[in-house]
Structure 1
């Protein structure tokens, strides 16, 4: 009982136990009542704040200090223009819907609040202003979109209902809020799979490793003994945390003993040309794993873009992801956009070729856009050619899951600063995901059995379907 195996083996976000206590959610709707077609959602989150102006929502007629040097190009969807540095994605535009009017304004204009708003659909509360970067996940936070989906779907026979890879943003102790189940209970937390820039084809989670030479039979016998101890303990301690611990242990054992669990992450089963198409980067391979997990019908898969701080931190005046405070255009053109373009276009093309796109919703978002006026004081102003944070407007990209491709929804103003047509909120985007996944009932219950709504004041963007 003193050993770490059961905590290490779970790997199911168990460290988030302090972030929430279990509450029960309404069961999933019967299959025949599902409004959406999606069996799985793949969320590709561009950590750092990707520039909507230099990717999706080009403003070629704006003044130079706003538009930058990139030019728009034609795509496979008539009338839809994308950045010249997304040529492969442009060929897939007939599958894509661009929501150019997401008003993600947060009260701090920073990463923590941006994550929370776009990952939960809920406006950050005043604690984000007070605590700043110290506002880490809390047990009464609103739940992550993926955790809500996980709670509403029947439990997958071999894998968790929500899986995130290739890392948990951001480095402790500054863990970003919004990516956990929080108030609906840690049993709905994602399982985190680790990947690295150094070994991009290798993915590993503690749940898939038996440490110290322990065999499957020996682990089974240990769980049998533990179950007896837990049964006695429950007579005295029927707490929510004890219940959650038992659920994590059982899920961990199932993962450890199931060959289907490990095979989902084994990229050696893929053809070399498929791996080359996605690109041998940790982000490209994460999207390939995401496709494999969608094939296995895992309900919600999240790929958090993993930056390379050694390569880009100094160059981009950031931590190495999409937070381009300096050299915005060189960082995008030379590093970020080529890697994204190859991997993302490969995923869309792959899902379409396999006949999976109709039943797989793919969404690209970020915690914010970038400031339209070029020049960030922290990198030397206009000389530094960076773009600062900008939560007032961003673009989300949706594909599959019943979404009609080749369209744009809404519009921003002439500078890309604020939505002017069909403005939507992150709550509307979250509701659209639930709609695509066939989730109608968003009622949950607190510890006193009082009902509450998981996402009020929002509506799905049904015009996209």
Structure 2
């Protein structure tokens, strides 16, 4: 047996940053803990699970679910609005399948940022944590890295508040981690809550939309679960002497990750959940064939497996980069209308409407909160200087107003909440911030107590700002 083979087998089990993302940012000296992290949820809402669908890039609110048909053409654009299954809701004409599910939707049209950094990093952070970006986002922009003392992701908070289970973790993210290093987006990690509450990242590629895997949870070569257990027992025996001494917080944390990884590798339930090809062909076709579509189908399977929080980050299509003057997602700096009409809206429409319909058919919608958001809206007035102004038909970043979609989890569907002004530029009624949206998610998940303690036992609140929109329930 040659040296390369030995090295390969020695590395068959890896618990690394690709699976537990927060580790790459280092451990804080004092790891914060959730107060009563293993407690059952309180009585706030019905949602046993939350699915957050994040439209990476900054989705245009004015071309989708907050259209302004009476605005001048330089604002409203060429798309028409259409009636839906809910009298109070009109949607873009290019969302025909979602229009049939609108009676399940609540559309919040008055979300704005209190800090106008106008960049992606700050938009991710604000909308994923509920906390306004601090001064480092203003000074560093998209060079601002995730910090270990950042405020935690709402998915990590929900996961930390639910009982810890064997097998699948309480928070999973798929099909990728935005964005490519070194520009990893802040806000998607547990941070000060402790890296043990980081989501587990499950990856899939556009070229292989049925293949989901966590790179850190893969047995390579001919290693079997029995061999893995034998190796684990040997390591435990060799490590016996060290266990006589008091372990540091970092050592304890690392052992938690090792055990978590081992549990996942040996769980037959994990294999079954990730086997999306076992879904009936008709179901897969209803969602669509793209990796974003199969990620939403995977999210439904994770709901059935009782995972408390599932995040789907829209995976960009690099083939659209030049056409849309973007990374291939919803950041439509150029050719906004063709990119939406021909690519983004059809893919979203089929996949998300399929999820809503599927959860409804399986009687899971009432116990599953669906949330669709993004890092920002887009400029209501057409024309982005970086793509040629008006002739480039793009929309730039716009943090002053955006829309958020919710469904299920006790939410009353078929309604809107708040309103933007006649151009879609600023909130006109019931102005809200991402903190209010985060508090609404917590309320839906039955989490109304956000007290926590740091590593020295000092109390603090995970989110002081904002109020749950209880009128939606």
Matched residue of 1:202: which SS?
strand
Cross-structure match for 1:268? 277
Aligned-pair CA distance for 1:201 = 1.2
Identify if the C-alpha distance between structure 1 residues 11 and 176 changes in structure 2 by more than 3 Å, giving closer, same or farther: closer
Provide the C-alpha distance between the structure 1 equivalents of 2:287 and 2:197, rounded to a whole number of angstroms: 30
Identify if the C-alpha distance between structure 1 residues 456 and 326 changes in structure 2 by more than 3 Å, giving closer, same or farther: same
Matches within 5 A, 1:149-188: 149-188=158-197
Could you tell which deviates more after superposition, 55-64 or 103-112?
Answer: 103-112
Aligned-pair CA distance for 1:440 = 1.8
Report if the CA contact (8 A) 2:116-2:399 is conserved: no
Task: Structure 2: state its 5+ residue gaps.
Answer: 1-6
Matches within 5 A, 1:340-419: 340-419=348-427
Provide the C-alpha distance between the structure 2 equivalents of 1:155 and 1:130, rounded to a whole number of angstroms: 38
Report if the CA contact (8 A) 1:19-1:137 is conserved: no
Provide the C-alpha distance between the structure 2 equivalents of 1:238 and 1:14, rounded to a whole number of angstroms: 23
Matched residue of 1:213: which SS?
coil
Superposed CA RMSD in Å reads 1.8
Q: Which of 430, 446, 463 does residue 454 from structure 2 map onto?
A: 446
Is the aligned partner of 1:225 residue 2:234?
A: yes
Aligned-pair CA distance for 1:155 = 1.3
Identify if the C-alpha distance between structure 1 residues 443 and 15 changes in structure 2 by more than 3 Å, giving closer, same or farther: closer
Matched residue of 1:200: which SS?
strand
Matches within 5 A, 1:246-265: 246-265=255-274
Provide the C-alpha distance between the structure 2 equivalents of 1:33 and 1:337, rounded to a whole number of angstroms: 37
Q: Which of 441, 445, 466 does residue 458 from structure 1 map onto?
A: 466
Residue by residue, what CA displacement relative to the aligned partner does 1:105-142 show, whole Å, maximum 9, x if unpaired?
Answer: 43321000000000000000000111122101100000
Cross-structure match for 1:95? 104
Report if the CA contact (8 A) 2:173-2:201 is conserved: yes
Cross-structure match for 1:7? 14
Report if the CA contact (8 A) 1:112-1:176 is conserved: yes
Matches within 5 A, 1:8-87: 8=15, 12-14=19-21, 16-21=23-28, 22-27=31-36, 33-87=42-96
Provide the C-alpha distance between the structure 1 equivalents of 2:182 and 2:153, rounded to a whole number of angstroms: 19
Identify if the C-alpha distance between structure 1 residues 435 and 312 changes in structure 2 by more than 3 Å, giving closer, same or farther: same
Aligned-pair CA distance for 1:237 = 6.2
Task: Structure 1: state its 5+ residue gaps.
Answer: none
Aligned-pair CA distance for 1:20 = 4.4
Is the aligned partner of 1:424 residue 2:450?
A: no
Matched residue of 2:234: which SS?
helix
Provide the C-alpha distance between the structure 2 equivalents of 1:105 and 1:381, rounded to a whole number of angstroms: 27
Is the aligned partner of 1:214 residue 2:214?
A: no
Provide the C-alpha distance between the structure 2 equivalents of 1:19 and 1:88, rounded to a whole number of angstroms: 45
Identify if the C-alpha distance between structure 1 residues 230 and 101 changes in structure 2 by more than 3 Å, giving closer, same or farther: farther
